Amino acid sequence: MKEDKYAEFELAANTIRCLAIDAIQKAKSGHPGLPMGMADVAAMLWLKYLRHDPKSPDWADRDRFVLSGGHGSMLLYSLLHLAGYGLTIDDLKQFRQFGSLTPGHPEYRHTRGVETSTGPLGQGVANGVGMAIAEKMLEARLNGNAAEGEFRPVSHRTVVFCGDGDLQEGISHEACALAGTLALDNLILIYDSNNITIEGSTDLSDKTDAALRFKAYGWRVLEMDGHDFGAIDRTFRKAFGKPCGKPTVIIAHTTIGKGSPNKQGTAACHGAPLGDDEIRLVKQGFGFDPDATFSVPAEVYAAFEARARKMHRVANTWKRQFKEWRAAHPELSAAWDRHFSGELPDNLESILPKFDPAKPVATRAASGAVLNALAPAIAPLIGGSADLAPSNNTYLKGFGDVSASDFSGRNLHFGIRELGMAAIMNGIAVHGGFKVFGGTFFVFSNYCRPALRVAAMMKLPVVFVFTHDSFYVGEDGPTHEPVEQLAALRAMPGVTVIRPAEATETAAAWLWALRKAQGPVAILLSRQNLEILDRAEYPAASLLEKGAYTLWQTREGRPDVIAIATGSEVGTTLAAAKSLAAGGDWRNIRVVSMPSRELFAAQGALYRDEVIPAACRKRLVVEAGVSFGWEGIAGPEGRILSVEGFGLSGTYKALAEHFGFTPANVAALMKAL
């Protein structure tokens, strides 16, 4: 029998269960198992331990709560309603309906109180790791030398609910291993261990000892009965107490669908409404009116309102102390503004490196030079690589490494974990305070895609540095030579792909990404050296922000032929056009550099027609990737020089000859138009 002191938690938990099953039943769609199984844990967390203020949902020092198993969204929506985040009963009744504030999975910036979009299992765990990293890094920058007991502007935790599905996904290993390495003692992962997945018992596919797994990562492991309020309270008291120098995982042994007499503990309640008859039995078992729907006892509202008032006082105390802290610590206050204002210095162009047109350089090397020139002026700029910093040129020299013992550095070592890296970047971005980038070889963008896709949905301005961007990788062969990746990235809504032609366009790409991006940006960079365009002779590289521009033309006037190229192929195409002009070709040939199709498509029709006039139908597109997506730009009379199969192993010069990416062959194609 439960102690009386936990009666309000039990009533709150059962209310959450009933709200969830009513909404799911009304929608005729949803997942009741998770909300019913984790309601006891959630009620204790939100009514006693989670530090947040519904009246100030963006309070900078709030605890972050992530429901990684986004399919159980009615758990979160019920909590947000009860806690006072503005979700009404009518909103709950519109669960999973078009245009509602309660979509099937939680969506960032759509519903107040939702910290990140979740659904693809495991990504919420990695987002949580990213949030915890961001908090630790801000602590190191903003808390100064505050002694124990003194005000610290950054002092919060990240709490993540996850389940068996999250921990079976490989991304959870990537993220949790890094969290252990970094000793993120501000991270609490609460594992809903119910031993059920869609197909049945977890034993069908997984017999991993979760406790041993997390101990191996270097985590503190706690276990509890997820339905014993006394055990939950004692475990939370320990987990939320003094930091232990390790991230904490709480293995909560729960029953999926708790309270459903005929379906609890089985896969039957995972992803389908319980049905009207079963819902009546559930409510009768809880002592609720079986005929009432979306009913909330007054005592439950009162309990959540009392907690909200207490947390509002906590938030207001923080705000008062923060104001005093600003006055007492003007340098730290200015640092806070640099991290949270989103503003960048106006003079970034003046601090960019100067590239000598007489000295060819790979755009990956140019990117590294640009990053290191900008880093001193942009304090929030941080990033890293999936163990490829020397090749990606992503290391910020002189700014130190992020480690368990020192979070003041600006270089993150993600390890060989591309997907984990991408989702951790998302977590850093939604937390706020930093502009984050991550690098790997372009061919491994395939590993990043699931998290890159969610970044696009959330409109997060994360920057991906993808180097070794074509068959010019050379000797490593087809496994490392991206071919279809360009088309695949461009097919993803909301992603801006930029493939600069040379060093000056690379600098312009970084300026655009840091200043203007409203979503994820992928900057694609060459392994091989490329000729640098002398901007005294050619148009300004800043035209990159328009996506495409006329780089060179035989003479003024209407073009007879337009050659459109991206990246390393711009130099090849320019050389081809100039060779034809020098050889006496009478036609007026225009060379267009198109570093970003997305940016070009965003321009007005007048500008697009100015660069690529509809009247000029003889067009050649040159790009070292598949032709998919270029057909509309090439037009019915145009041609596309592309790579329609996988690459080969050999020197990049031999491969360029084999695939026809030489000035001579490009010139021949122009001539044949």
Q: Catalytic amino acids?
A: 418
Per-residue b or e along 440-475, where b marks 16 or more CB atoms closer than 10 Å to that residue's CB: bbbbbbebbbbbbbbbbbbebbbbbbbbbbbbbbbe
CA–CA gap between residue 42 and residue 367 (Å, rounded)? 46
Whole-angstrom CA distances from 95 to 359, 427, 658 are 60, 26, 57
CA–CA gap between residue 515 and residue 380 (Å, rounded)? 13
Give the rounded distance of the alpha carbon of 319 from its chain centre: 29
Positions of E strands within 245-286: 248-253
User: Cβ(89)–Cβ(182) under 8 Å?
Assistant: no
Query: Could you please report the per-residue DSSP string of 586-602?
Result: -S-EEEEE-S-HHHHHT
Long-range pairs of 341-345 with CB within 8 A, sequence gap ≥ 24: 344/378, 344/514, 344/515, 345/377, 345/378
User: Cβ(442)–Cβ(385) under 8 Å?
Assistant: no
User: Which of helix, strand or coil describes residue 438?
Assistant: strand
The residue written with tokens 């909590």 in the block is 79
For residue 347, the one-letter residue type is: N
CA–CA gap between residue 314 and residue 204 (Å, rounded)? 47
User: Cβ(94)–Cβ(24) under 8 Å?
Assistant: no
Of 60, 56, 54, the closest CA to residue 79 belongs to 54
For residue 577, the one-letter residue type is: A
User: Cβ(538)–Cβ(580) under 8 Å?
Assistant: no
Please name every residue paired with 620 in a beta bridge, in sequence order, or none if there are none.
563, 639
Query: Could you please report the per-residue DSSP string of 478-490?
Result: GGG--SSHHHHHH
Of 559, 548, 560, the closest CA to residue 623 belongs to 548
Residues 6 or more apart from 470 whose CB is under 8 A from it?
442, 481, 482, 483, 526, 567, 568, 624, 625, 643
User: Cβ(39)–Cβ(17) under 8 Å?
Assistant: yes
User: Which H or E element spans position 572?
Assistant: helix 569-582
User: Cβ(182)–Cβ(404) under 8 Å?
Assistant: yes
45 half-sphere exposure, CB direction, 13 A CA radius: 27
The residue written with tokens 């592309």 in the block is 642
CA–CA gap between residue 130 and residue 431 (Å, rounded)? 8
Query: Could you please report the per-residue DSSP string of 442-464?
Result: GGGHHHHHHHHHHHHHHT---EE
Positions of E strands within 354-495: 361-362, 381-385, 411-413, 435-441, 463-467
CA–CA gap between residue 129 and residue 124 (Å, rounded)? 9
User: Cβ(2)–Cβ(229) under 8 Å?
Assistant: yes
CA–CA gap between residue 461 and residue 464 (Å, rounded)? 10
User: Cβ(370)–Cβ(352) under 8 Å?
Assistant: yes
